[in-house]
Amino acid sequence: MSSLKLSENERFIETIKNFSKKPYLFRKTSFESEVTRNDGMLLSHIQKKISDGQSKKHLLGIDIPSIYKEMFDFFSKSNGINYNSLRKIVEFSGLSHHIIERIINIVFLEINEDTLVSKYNFYLVIALVGISQNGEYPSIETLRKYKNNLPIPKLYNISNNDHVLSYDKMVGINDFLFGFILNSKQTFNSNSSLETNSVQECMSMCINNINESNICPWTTSNLWNFNFIIDNVYKNCGERSFLYNIFNILNSTQFFSSVDRVNIQFVSKKKGFFLFKHVNYILFSVIRNSRVIRRYSDFLWLQECLMKKYPFRQVPLMPPKCFSGIIFVNGHYLSIDSAFLERRRKGLSRFINAVVRHPIFRDDPLVIAFLTVSSEFSLWRKQTILTIHDEFRDKVIDDDLVSNFPSDFDEIIMNIKKTINLQIDNYIQLCLIMERLLKYQQESATDMMLFALCLNVLSEKNKFVFTNGIVNDFISHINQGMSVVSKHFLTTQEFLEEEAKVLNEGILEDLKCQRDNLIAIKNMFDRKDKLDVDNISFLEKRIDTNLDKLTSLDMKTDLNSLDKEKIEKSIMKDKELIANQRSRHFFINKCILTEIIYFQISQIYIGKLYRDYAQERIKYSELLAENWRSMEIQIASMPSAFI
């Protein structure tokens, strides 16, 4: 039984085996097991004092923002703030369960739900939440990095019929939407699959507004416009909608910092037999703080599982097993160069990061196992029994959902299908052009190096014309000047190569991500056309035939009750099949709609990638300009005419 379920006088500490390895939320202290039941209240009081003292110690020398103090005063003005209320505040941050556990365990040793939280514990929790939302792993060491500028966390409002508080003092803070529910059991669940009535209602209203305004959301001007879709949602649903929280979690900085990031690197040595060696990859999960080794077939297995389990969602693309020019023997490639391996590594990185960004995929047990199981994954797959079932199995259709669903959904999908091929073609061209531009820059860097080498040769071979005299000094100054120019050309080469490398990892990969996302949407539509089939018309005809048979049986005098019962059962079974197929068809369309909205919201990445691109170009342009200015100053004394 959890310590939270025990009364204050009944709590006691149990000895924990494998203390350092066991995951925990409320870790036990080093006090051992011989603590009587009557010592529970005293022990709890001691632990609270220790926790308060540790928090105060951690905050020494750190500037506490005034907003932290106002938040604490606001929430503690009615009988203080207890642990349960603080936990709800943290859950409104949109952070993963793992990060929330990490923050709680840093601050508290052990605490009861009703225990009042001190201001120092409150400040420390809020600071760690803000740090986590900035993409940093929460720790005391990270806290000290922000000692002069603690971040303001972004917490998102959630509606409830019991009581909602609005904090007017927060209006002046950009993107800070703060709300809290006291004495309420409703909390934000980051595992939500966007499948609630309020979500569907808002989606319907959003799409209707888009259609009424005669704006195509898939044009290049609106495809990536975050406010375009958000404004339509807020116009109808307001802040009380559950969808409000989803959109805010995906908003601006939070969208980029709250999701996991997986880094992929090569394992230094290949494995396998001669001629059939394979490459392994090391995966580092930032938020989960895990390190695992996987091979290409493991990634392929994960994609196949996602395809089977979520055929009507935008499953990310995998890079091909091989590219053109690779020699194949019995299914194995013999000619593998570093360029091929690097292309595939980047493709795998795009795939797994798209998976962990997706609000449904990232919480799937298979994805979690893929990122956390430290043993050899092929053995884990053999030892694990997987049951992959239809995502919409046992779901019952609701009349309210049907009434709120956009009536012109098929027209919306058709319009998207008409434009998506053009979008894909344009992104393919963008990737090719950017790749060509970066190659030109790398070639330019190489030419800079060749130019510098030629100058060095000239300066070394340009011998003195006379052994003594003014001409000798003149040539000497010329040679020195050429050496200076050569050094600055080499510096320019370094800057150009470094910039090309940064842009290759930056905007080029970002453009390929957008291309892959569009192709994933197109593949999702193709799977829908293939898999979303039914035989409702056949079943309806069979029901009509059986009804006619029942009518004819009723007219007969020698009625066979067994035949009639058999026909009635067949009719009931067919009607049930029709209802199930219609329900499945509706939920498939509903799922497709959520994926379209998620895709459109994710287009805020486009704005980020071009901002990052501009910043990198400005940075290296300034470095190059400074390099040329330095060269100009140093060659000012270089002879330019005979005196």
**If we measure between CA atoms, which residue out of 613, 594, 375, 387 comes closest to residue 507?**
613
What is the rounded CA–CA span in Å between residue 499 and residue 448?
14
pLDDT 10s digits, 569-607: 888 998 888 888 888 888 888 889 889 988 888 888 888
pLDDT on residue 153: 81
Span of 66-70, 133-137, 300-304 with lowest mean pLDDT: 133-137
The domain covering 262-389 belongs, at the CATH homologous superfamily level, to Phox-like domain (3.30.1520.10)
Mean pLDDT of all residues in 246-269: 62
Does the pLDDT at position 232 exceed 60? no
pLDDT 10s digits, 273-306: 555 567 888 898 888 888 888 888 899 999 999 9
pLDDT 10s digits, 344-379: 999 999 999 999 998 888 888 888 889 888 888 888
Does the pLDDT at position 247 exceed 70? no
Q: Which two tokens stand for residue 71?
A: 């938040």
Question: Which residues share a beta bridge with 332?
Answer: 329
Structural contact between residues 122 and 81, judged by C-beta atoms closer than 8 angstroms: yes
Helix residue ranges, H only, 195-337: 197-212, 226-237, 242-249, 252-257, 296-309
Q: Which two tokens stand for residue 463?
A: 């011998």
Mean pLDDT of all residues in 160-178: 32
What is the rounded CA–CA span in Å between residue 614 and residue 595?
30
Q: Exposed, middle or buried: residue 20 (CB in 10 Å: 0-12, 13-18, 19+)?
A: exposed
Does the pLDDT at position 401 exceed 50? yes
Q: Which residues neighbour 607 within 8 Å (Cβ) at sequence distance 6 or greater?
A: 224, 226
Query: Start-end ranges of CATH 3.30.1520.10 in the chain?
Result: 262-389
pLDDT interval class at 551 (50, 70, 90): confident
HEC profile for 48-114? HHHHHHHHHHHCCCCCCCHHHHHHHHHHCCCCCCEHHHHHHHHHCCCCCHHHHHHHHHHHCCCCCCC
Four-residue CA torsion sign, 477, 479, 485, 487: negative
Proportion of the chain above pLDDT 70, given as a percent: 65
Mean pLDDT of all residues in 557-568: 75
Mean pLDDT of all residues in 26-31: 33
Per-residue buried b or exposed e for 192-218, using 16+ beta carbons within 10 Å of the residue's own CB: eebbeeebbbbbbbbbbbbbeeeebbb
**If we measure between CA atoms, which residue out of 384, 377, 382 comes closest to residue 280?**
377
Structural contact between residues 109 and 30, judged by C-beta atoms closer than 8 angstroms: no
pLDDT 10s digits, 449-465: 999 999 888 877 665 54
pLDDT interval class at 176 (50, 70, 90): very low
Mean pLDDT of all residues in 118-129: 84
Structural contact between residues 90 and 119, judged by C-beta atoms closer than 8 angstroms: no
Mean pLDDT of all residues in 134-145: 77
pLDDT interval class at 508 (50, 70, 90): very high
**If we measure between CA atoms, which residue out of 369, 399, 397 comes closest to residue 383?**
369
Q: Which residues neighbour 357 within 8 Å (Cβ) at sequence distance 6 or greater?
A: 259, 260, 602
What is the rounded CA–CA span in Å between residue 180 and residue 72?
12
pLDDT interval class at 234 (50, 70, 90): very low
Q: Exposed, middle or buried: residue 233 (CB in 10 Å: 0-12, 13-18, 19+)?
A: buried
Does the pLDDT at position 138 exceed 50? yes
